[in-house]
Amino acid sequence: KAGIVGRLAARFSRVKIIVHTVHGWPFNDLQKSLIRSFYIMLEKTVSSFTDKIIVVSNFDKQAGLSNKIGNEFKYAFIRYGINYDEFMPVNSSLKEELDLKSDDLIVGTISCLKPQKHPQDFIRLAAKVKEDMPGVKFILAGDGVLRLEIEGLIKKLGLKNNVFLLGWRRDIPNILSGIDLFVLTSLWEGLPISVLESMASSKPVIATHTGGISEVVLNDMTGFIFPRFDIESMASKVRFLLSDSDSRKKIGNNCRAALGDEFRVENMLNVTQGLYENLVSLKN
């Protein structure tokens, strides 16, 4: 949406080179067909004068091509880059901040409180887990239009002592270092940065099977993925990982190793710079 407006503004301003990075398309399979078709039409229009479309996941590339948004040569595949040094395990201050015990288990998520992220399912998952593990804590870092609804759901499900809403935070490495596993209940995605940062923090990921998540979250290797809305299965796997510290540690270690150099911020910068320089050279 912003990418569409930005490219139209660039076109009208006669900008010589236009590059757009896709972090998830503005259309998805849960939209009404008319709205979805409208966004696809807009993307087709602006792609005709976009020099390069950068995608961070194979899913986004295939979604674009299958909807005839540009051609194969229009796309550049560049993974989002993580500064691994920022996400080294540290002594987190999260438990001290929330006045929790040192041995309390914490399940975390980081997301804007908006329909795409469907944080309601994270709260429902917390209620399911609490049935068998009443001492587990859940933290949600982020804010948004669904805040009041989420607060109401926490109260309704009797989770006031289990769920902590942290609001917007600037200390994400500290938060990720303080949790035991990461959960994402999104309805649609590109390749969420929060998943990559959690993996860089050596935290197992349990997520819905959306967008490019399955390109990095591999079942029983770096985490587990489930169909959207399958809260029962997600909660079961959360209970398993919280109860089995060896499996939790093994999968967490796999997460950081699996990212490799491809997701390093240095790689992203070098490849992006090379792309820009090549485009300038071609235009000149």
CATH of domain 2-81+264-283: 3.40.50.2000
Give residue 75's pLDDT. 98
Instruction: Indicate the DSSP class of residue 75.
Output: E
pLDDT number for residue 176? 96
With a cut of 70, list the residues of the chain below it in pLDDT. none
Question: C-alpha 26: how far from its chain's center?
Answer: 15
pLDDT in the model for residue 1:
84
Distances from the Cα of 123 to the Cαs of 16, 138, 149, in angstroms? 48, 8, 11
Q: For the chain, state the CA radius of gyration.
A: 20
What CATH class has 84-261?
Answer: alpha beta
Short-list 243, 244, 224, CA closest to 234: 224
What residues does CATH 3.40.50.2000 cover in the chain? Answer: 2-81+264-283, 84-261
Is 55:75 a contact under the CB 8 Å cutoff?
yes
CA distance 3 to 22: 8
Beta pairing class for 163-167 and 137-141:
parallel
Residue 273 pLDDT = 97
Alpha-helical (H) ranges within 162-284 are 172-178, 193-200, 231-243, 245-259, 265-283
272-277 — which CB contacts under 8 Å span 24+ positions?
272/54, 272/78, 275/19, 275/52, 275/54, 275/76, 275/78, 276/17, 276/19
The predicted structure's pLDDT at residue 221: 96
